[in-house]
């Protein structure tokens, strides 16, 4: 537990900073809770959805919070990923605590976790570092992908599978208009152009938007979040709806009504980095304090 920049205990895998709190599991480096103050009060509001049926014991990836997708998005398609499960190994591997990053002030707290994949998983020479920085009104999560090979390029996809706690029926998403997207709800690799200035997830939605503006807002009647991405050129919008949602074994009854996933990623194609190179993809989530006054 970290409080106001002061390390209280490492064992808790949780930290509290100023008026905001955050909990992260070593398993998957999965953030499972982020509470930020409600506008005009000291009350904390949970910003992320987590299914009450989610396994938190390391037996399967967490259904909610912010799981990390790496090095493949969806089912593996490349030979070096052939042994991997859907969405890769990062979300179901145990990461190492790598300490608290010293900040030059105490308005934010930053922690770092790292992962070196088991050789049985992949022949890739790679180290991942995940830096989580919490301040009262912002959560920043940066994934560093370090190619530790001296002679081989590294090819991967990466994504932050962010379950935003929002009433699905009343949520609006800005920032997607005119983007090309792959519609994964239908068979075949069909791509379309987003015509909506303000998108929604009223229907089953599983869209991979390519090369977005890196700034999006999700708003609902009494809240909202601004999502800013770096490195992650694409963004996925997902909500399974009632039919698909009820087929997901660890989804709570009606859970699909209480979230949407807006997932900054590098997933429409593969990224390749040189031997020794580091690539960073990150997102900054900022609760919108006065919905309606902020736009993209
Ligand atoms: C989304 C994908 O990112 O994750 C969907 O676009 C997928 O196709 C969803 O269904 C959930 O995946 P999982 O493996 O956590 O059930």
**Complex prediction ipTM:** 0.98
Residues catalogued as catalytic? 161, 263
Model's pTM, two decimal places?
Answer: 0.93
| Cβ–ligand 1 contact at 86 (below 6 Å) | yes
Q: Give yes or no for residue 206 CB within 6 A of ligand 1.
A: yes
- Which residue ranges make up each domain of the chain? 2-287
In the CATH scheme, what is the code of domain 2-287?
2.70.98.10
Instruction: Tell me if 226 CB under 6 Å of ligand 1.
Output: no
Nearest CA to ligand 1 atom 6: 206
Nearest atom in ligand 1 to the alpha carbon of residue 161 is 3
pLDDT value of residue 18: 60
Q: Is 259 in the pocket of ligand 1 (CB under 6 A)?
A: no
CA 26 to chain centre: 15
* Probe target for ligand 1 pocket from 74, 205, 249, with the most ligand atoms within 8 Å of CB: 74
Mutate to test the pocket of ligand 1, among 181, 238, 256 (most ligand atoms within 8 A of CB): 238
pLDDT for res 42: 78
Beta carbon of 207 within 6 Å of any ligand 1 atom: no
Distance 84 CA to ligand 1 centre (A): 15
pLDDT at 279: 98
Q: What is the mean pLDDT of the chain?
A: 91
Residue 293: its pLDDT value, please? 44
Highest mean predicted confidence (pLDDT) among 6-10, 135-139, 204-208, 292-296: 204-208
Q: Find the 138 Cα to ligand 1 centroid distance in Å.
A: 25
Question: Is the model's pLDDT at 206 over the cut of 70?
Answer: yes
> 234: Cβ below 6 Å to ligand 1?
no
Query: In angstroms, what is the span from residue 71 Cα to ligand 1's centroid?
Result: 14
Q: Does the beta carbon of 263 lie inside 6 Å of ligand 1?
A: yes
Q: What is the pLDDT of residues 75-114, one digit of tens each?
A: 999 999 999 999 999 999 999 999 987 666 667 889 999 9
Q: Decide if pLDDT at 8 tops 60.
A: no
Q: Quick one: pLDDT at residue 9? A: 44
């Amino acid at each position: 537990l970290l409080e106001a920049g002061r390390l209280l205990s490492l064992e808790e895998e949780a930290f509290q900073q100023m008026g905001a709190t955050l909990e992260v599991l070593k398993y998957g480096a999965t953030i499972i809770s982020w509470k930020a103050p409600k506008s005009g009060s000291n009350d904390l509001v949970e910003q992320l959805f987590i299914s009450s049926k989610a396994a938190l014991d390391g037996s399967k990836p967490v259904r909610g919070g912010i799981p990390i997708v790496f090095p493949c998005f969806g089912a593996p398609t490349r030979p070096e990923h052939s042994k991997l499960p859907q969405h890769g190994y990062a979300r179901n591997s145990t990461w190492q605590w790598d300490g608290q990053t010293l900040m030059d002030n105490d308005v934010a707290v930053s922690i770092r976790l790292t992962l070196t994949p088991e050789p049985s998983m992949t022949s890739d020479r790679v180290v991942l570092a995940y830096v989580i920085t919490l301040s009262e009104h912002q959560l920043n999560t940066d994934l560093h992908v370090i190619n530790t090979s001296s002679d081989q390029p590294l090819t991967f996809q990466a994504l932050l599978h962010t379950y935003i706690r929002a009433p699905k029926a009343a949520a609006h998403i800005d920032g997607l208009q005119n983007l090309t997207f792959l519609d994964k709800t239908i068979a075949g690799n069909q791509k379309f152009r987003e015509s909506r200035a303000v998108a929604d997830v009223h229907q089953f939605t599983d869209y991979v938007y390519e090369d977005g503006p890196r700034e999006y807002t999700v708003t609902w009647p009494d809240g909202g979040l601004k999502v800013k991405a770096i490195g992650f050129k694409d963004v996925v919008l997902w909500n399974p709806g009632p039919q698909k949602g009820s087929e997901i074994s660890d989804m709570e009854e009606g859970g699909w009504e209480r979230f949407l996933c807006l997932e900054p990623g590098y997933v429409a194609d593969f990224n390749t980095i040189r031997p020794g190179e580091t690539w960073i993809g990150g997102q900054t989530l900022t609760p919108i304090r006065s919905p309606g006054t902020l736009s993209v």
